[in-house]
Amino acid sequence: MSVFDAAAFRQQFPFFREQPTWIYLDNAATTHKPQVVIDSLVKFYQHDNSNVHRGTHQLSQQATSQFEEARRTVQQFINAAEPAEIVFTSGTTAAFNQLAFGLMHTILQAGDRILISALEHHANIVPWQLHCQQHGVIIDVIPLTVDRQLDQAAYQTLLERKPKIVSLTQVSNALGNVLPLAQMLSDAKAAGAMTIVDGAQGIAWQRPDVQKLPADFYCFSAHKLYGPTGIGVLYGKRAFLERLIPLHGGGEMIEHVSFSGSRFNSLPARLEAGTPHIAGAQGLAQAIKFISGFDAQQINSYKGLLLKAFHNGLQHIPGIQLLSSRHDNAGIVTLNIQGEHPADVAALLNEQHIAVRAGSHCAMPLFEQLAAPGALRFAFAPYNQLTEVEQCLAALAQAVEILTV
Ligand code: PMP
């Protein structure tokens, strides 16, 4: 069996040639971009720049056809039934804001319940809160077990309250847990709920087949999948997208406008008001083509090796308090060093050009439950190397020494 060629993968990313001193372990925040993605952005602005869906001129027609081609690339990648089920947004956060606004007026009535989990990112908490109180909708939360997994027994009990919506992350950005999504979503469907998946972290771990996964909506951001920032996807099954009230009004999303009212366009334009991130959509398509050239299982096994080496090394460093899961982990290690503030450790690592994140990782309610002020997060990508893991472990050991004298 052929193995994943990590060196060949890494070579595609010019950042590592430009900045050879950096060890980049902040991949859960954003990934680096391969040359093909960068080239496609430059090519658009340098050669093809034009607005979409508007012009009769050739440049606009060409930009439109490239933009729609990018939509088809996304459609095929996640196996959506039709291109119209792919709505371009500015990212996962924007997708959730559209969902919370759009469903609150149609699906959710006063007294209804939404069920999320204790692992959620603020993007799957705050947009709901913005509307829930005003509309009398209640948010329930699946708690964690003592070993920081989702409490599946509690989940079953919460489903008995018949939530209208179950909205879950595929992978926790804070603890790395890969959720048993297929089972949880099918239980949610059996309980009569509409299902939403936050795929921001999951998309780079396991590409979803949205026709098999019982997800009515699936959201992700291009920039965590080697694509550009400012572009993301709200996937929805047509019947569910049709029920969303548009969050944004303006050009493109209308069929007819008069001063007395407007008639909306058909999908996906109805949910894409204004000029989209045209270059970004093409960059995302290039990122998808790029990653599709590698075997996802081999990539994940390779990340598993990096993770194992890191976990093994951590055992030799005093005072490490591991918060993330050792198993079913998508490549994110979160920890604290006893008695030390995570930001101090991150600052020492930064001095050695090791990029990690410290804080509550947009999951404040989770860290409150863990009774931790935050944590250090090491998020691995397939371009990371075993030597980098070793260097990082050595730097961490040194930081502990400096801080504890
Ligand atoms: N959900 C999860 C699980 C995330 O990790 C992130 C990004 N940190 C988001 C949502 C929000 O993504 P974006 O900032 O790209 O909108």
- Please work out whether the CB of residue 227 comes within 6 Å of at least one atom of ligand 1: no
- Please work out whether the CB of residue 121 comes within 6 Å of at least one atom of ligand 1: yes
Helices (H), 251-338: 278-292, 296-314
The backbone torsions φ and ψ at residue 87, rounded to the nearest 5 degrees and listed phi first, read: -105, 125
Q: How far is CA 115 from CA 3, 136, 269, in A?
A: 41, 14, 29
- Please work out whether the CB of residue 89 comes within 6 Å of at least one atom of ligand 1: no
Q: In this prediction, does ipTM exceed 0.90?
A: yes
Given ligand 1 and candidates 96, 120, 121, 181, which is best to mutate, with the most ligand atoms within 8 Å of its CB?
121
CA–centroid distance, residue 92 to ligand 1 (Å)? 6
Given ligand 1 and candidates 99, 197, 221, which is best to mutate, with the most ligand atoms within 8 Å of its CB?
221
CA–centroid distance, residue 93 to ligand 1 (Å)? 6
pLDDT of residue 54: 75
Q: Quote the pTM value.
A: 0.97
The ligand 1 atom nearest the CA atom of 232: 15
CA–centroid distance, residue 77 to ligand 1 (Å)? 20
Q: Tens of pLDDT along 336-360?
A: 999 999 999 999 999 999 999 999 9
CA–centroid distance, residue 19 to ligand 1 (Å)? 26
Q: Using 50, 70 and 90 to split pLDDT, how confident is the model at 3?
A: confident
pLDDT at residue 380 tops 90:
yes
Active site residue 362: yes
pLDDT of residue 1: 54
Q: Using 50, 70 and 90 to split pLDDT, how confident is the model at 404?
A: confident
Q: What is the mean pLDDT of the chain?
A: 96
Strand, helix or coil at 168?
strand
Q: Tens of pLDDT along 76-103?
A: 999 999 999 999 999 999 999 999 999 9
Protein residue closest via CA to atom 5 of ligand 1: 173
Q: How far is CA 174 from CA 130, 194, 335, 391, in A?
A: 23, 25, 10, 23
pLDDT of residue 176: 96
pLDDT at residue 405 tops 80:
no
CA–centroid distance, residue 200 to ligand 1 (Å)? 5
The backbone torsions φ and ψ at residue 258, rounded to the nearest 5 degrees and listed phi first, read: -135, 170
Q: Tens of pLDDT along 111-169?
A: 999 999 999 999 999 999 999 999 999 999 999 999 999 999 999 999 999 999 999 99
The ligand 1 atom nearest the CA atom of 92: 16
Q: Tens of pLDDT along 309-328?
A: 999 999 999 999 999 999 99
Q: Tens of pLDDT along 160-199?
A: 999 999 999 999 999 999 999 999 999 999 999 999 999 9
pLDDT at residue 217 tops 60:
yes
Q: Which two tokens stand for residue 230?
A: 């400012």
- Please work out whether the CB of residue 221 comes within 6 Å of at least one atom of ligand 1: yes
Given ligand 1 and candidates 126, 172, 179, 201, which is best to mutate, with the most ligand atoms within 8 Å of its CB?
201
Q: Using 50, 70 and 90 to split pLDDT, how confident is the model at 40?
A: very high
